[in-house]
Amino acid sequence: MKTERIHSFIQFLIPGLLISFFLIQCTASKNIEKLTSDDIKNMIDSSNFIFNAERVNPLRGRTRYLTSSYDVTVKKDSVESFLPYFGRAYQAPIDPSKGGIQFTSTDFSYNVEAGGNKAWDVIIKPKDYNDVQEMRFSIFSNGSASLSVISTHRDPISFTGHIERIKK
């Protein structure tokens, strides 16, 4: 008797979960603007884009999907980072509310290197924020991107996500 209940419960649970997952994926993908390869190249060349992080890959530990909005805004005159951090820090921040990778830089180097198959590597080195040595974006022609952050007092960390236009 109990096995019949469990079996019928599982028969309804699995399709329900699959449909729910599919609907969540469909609604999430509608919010992303479709960009052409030329749009992406123009955003990179003009130093004007937002990287939206969707997943974090710490050096130690497991990959995690991010449930909140985290991003890096790159403009000609500034880089604004609002990212979480998971991993080993070798020096605690003075301000405990600054536990993630949160900063604004107005003095930085910005270099673009062409990668293979319509991909670009964007290397940003902040000069006025000493906790981050380098931010390396790998941006692909479909808008997907990854970001590796090398810090002075923390283990390296990487993120995957996508880029989009800065809304005016």
**CATH code of the domain containing 157:** 2.40.128.410
> Residue 25, CB half-sphere, CA atoms under 13 Å: how many?
6
Residues 63 and 24 in one domain: no
Residues 76 and 143 in one domain: yes
Q: How far apart are CA 58 and CA 81, in angstroms?
A: 17
143: left (phi over 0), alpha (psi -120 to 50) or beta: left
Q: What phi and psi, each to the nearest 5 degrees, are found at residue 24?
A: -65, -45
Residues 82 and 117 in one domain: yes
Residues 2 and 50 in one domain: no
Residues 61 and 15 in one domain: no
Q: Which of 44-53, 84-93, 146-155, 156-165 has the lowest mean pLDDT?
A: 84-93
What string of H, E and C letters represents the secondary structure of 109-156?
EEEEEEECCCEEEEEEEECCCCCEEEEEEEEECCCEEEEEEEECCECC
DSSP secondary structure letters along 13-43: HHHHHHHHHHHHHHHHHHTSPP--HHHHHHH
Residues 98 and 138 in one domain: yes
Counting the structural domains of the chain, the total is 2
Q: How far apart are CA 34 and CA 73, in angstroms?
A: 18
Residue 25 has pLDDT above 90, yes or no: no
For the chain, the C-alpha Rg in angstroms (whole number) is 20
Residues 19 and 82 in one domain: no
The tens digit of pLDDT for each residue in 52-104 reads 999 999 988 899 999 999 999 999 999 999 999 888 877 776 776 667 889 99
- Residues spanned by the domain of 12: 1-31
Residues 104 and 142 in one domain: yes
Residues 23 and 59 in one domain: no
Q: How far apart are CA 150 and CA 144, in angstroms?
A: 20
The tens digit of pLDDT for each residue in 97-128 reads 667 889 999 999 999 998 777 789 999 999 99
* Proportion of the chain in helix, strand, coil states, percent, rounded to 5: 25, 45, 30
